[in-house]
């Protein structure tokens, strides 16, 4: 009998309030763990949407919190991304920039892998922001990462990386069975390309692709609450043969077990977030907000948890039927005449 592995995406509407984000994250992990999930995947910018320099001050503490979450709830945790002020070798990132780092933890709380986003988003988008250039804030990574787990090898990507088929194929070539893509696609680019890109990368690599997205409106600077960015959401799992797969979706705002759960007033039911309040009090964040911003900033949406099963045996059969990497044996001759 084929052994299935249950995965869960926690789709978030992260804001600049790190403590509130931790509460949403922990609630999502709790829901997933209680339903037998083996691996939980968070979106890009899960811990803070906007104010990346501020969030980077808490990189080590949030890394430790994520390790505790994986251990406490007994899951593998792909902790979306965190802004990190230093490179994997410990040297500071040049010019005051950061790395956009995706971390994978095992159920013992050990950090199995760190992947720093290679392809930084630079585009003009028909939305209120207009011009995006992550290179102003981040330094690109330069290392491919595949992590070993009990259910397969996980190739790590982040958001804009999924536009680059060679990266997906290279991850497959060095052993990946699963590709993770924590993301914060803009509403416009997501509407146009999100599903197509996830599907294409699954077909390119013959890996299951996990697209964990931010969703909804995000106030990236609470002192200017009209400065809102909208993300696409629509988190999904794509099987290695290009099919969208899911087994269940739970909206924490409507689930019978959590619909009356007010994230901001239930620290007692979220033990890790309660501990975090001692080193990341909500007041530290709120002190940066003026009263107008507090009154006009929209409420944070409750997380949704999307489930799917990974069938490693079925995926391997598909791979045996298509020699995906055969094309790399071709010799390309350029005729300049």
How far apart CA 222 and CA 50 sit, in angstroms, is 10
Q: Are the C-beta atoms of residues 234 and 190 closer than 8 Å to each other? A: yes
Other Cβ atoms less than 10 A from the Cβ of 271: the count is: 13
Instruction: Point out the catalytic residue in the list 97, 159, 207, 236.
Output: 159
> Which residue matches tokens 């995926």?
315
Tokens of 104: 């994978």
Catalytic annotation present for 327: no
The interaxial angle of helices 18-34 and 59-73, nearest 10 deg, is 20
- If residue 314 lies in a helix (H) or strand (E), which one and from where to where? helix 312-321
SS3 at position 315: helix
Full DSSP string of 151-200: TEEEEE--GGGGG-HHHHHHHHHTT-SEEEEEE--BHHHIIIIIHHHHHH
Strands 82-84, 76-78: parallel, antiparallel or unpaired by DSSP? unpaired
Other Cβ atoms less than 10 A from the Cβ of 319: the count is: 18
Catalytic annotation present for 159: yes
Instruction: Point out the catalytic residue in the list 26, 44, 134, 236.
Output: 44
Q: Give the closest residue to 140 by CA, choosing from 177, 95, 185, 180.
A: 95
Phi, psi dihedrals of residue 211, rounded to the nearest 5°? -100, 100
* Total number of residues shown for the chain: 337
Instruction: Point out the catalytic residue in the list 51, 63, 97, 117.
Output: 117
Cα–Cα separations (whole angstroms), residue 235 to 158, 193, 252: 13, 13, 15
Q: Are the C-beta atoms of residues 107 and 72 closer than 8 Å to each other? A: no
Catalytic annotation present for 30: no
How far apart CA 216 and CA 230 sit, in angstroms, is 5
- The radius of gyration of the chain from alpha carbons, rounded to an integer in Å, stands at 20
How far apart CA 315 and CA 114 sit, in angstroms, is 26
Q: Which residues are catalytic?
A: 44, 117, 159
């Amino acid at each position: 009998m084929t052994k299935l592995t249950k995965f869960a995406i926690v789709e978030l509407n992260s804001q600049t309030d790190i403590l509130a984000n931790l509460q949403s994250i922990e609630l999502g992990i709790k829901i997933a763990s209680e339903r037998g999930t083996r691996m939980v995947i968070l979106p890009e910018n899960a811990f803070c949407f906007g104010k990346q320099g501020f969030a980077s001050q808490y990189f080590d503490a949030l890394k430790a919190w994520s390790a505790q979450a994986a251990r406490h709830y007994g899951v593998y945790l792909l902790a979306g991304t965190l802004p990190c002020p230093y490179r994997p070798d410990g040297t500071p990132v040049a010019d005051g920039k950061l790395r956009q780092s995706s971390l994978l933890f095992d159920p013992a709380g050990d950090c199995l892998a760190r992947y720093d986003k290679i392809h930084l988003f630079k585009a003009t988008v028909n939305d209120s922001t207009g011009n995006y250039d992550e290179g102003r804030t981040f330094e690109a990574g330069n290392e491919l990462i595949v992590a070993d787990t009990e259910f397969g090898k996980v190739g790590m990507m982040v958001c804009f990386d999924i536009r680059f088929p060679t990266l997906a194929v290279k991850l497959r070539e060095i052993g990946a069975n699963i590709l993770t893509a924590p993301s914060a696609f803009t509403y416009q680019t997501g509407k146009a390309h999100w599903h197509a890109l996830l599907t294409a990368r699954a077909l390119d690599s013959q890996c299951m692709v996990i697209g964990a997205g931010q969703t909804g409106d995000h106030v990236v600077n609470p002192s200017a609450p009209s400065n809102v960015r909208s993300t696409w959401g629509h988190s999904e799992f794509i099987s290695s043969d290009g099919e969208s797969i899911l087994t269940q979706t739970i909206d924490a705002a409507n689930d019978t077990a959590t619909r009356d759960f007010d994230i901001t007033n239930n620290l007692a039911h979220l033990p890790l977030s309660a501990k975090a309040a001692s080193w990341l009090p909500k007041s530290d964040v709120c002190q940066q907000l003026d009263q107008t911003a507090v009154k006009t900033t929209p409420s944070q949406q409750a997380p949704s948890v999307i489930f799917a099963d990974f069938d490693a045996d079925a995926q391997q059969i598909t791979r045996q039927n298509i020699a995906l990497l055969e094309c790399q044996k071709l010799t390309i001759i350029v005729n300049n005449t």
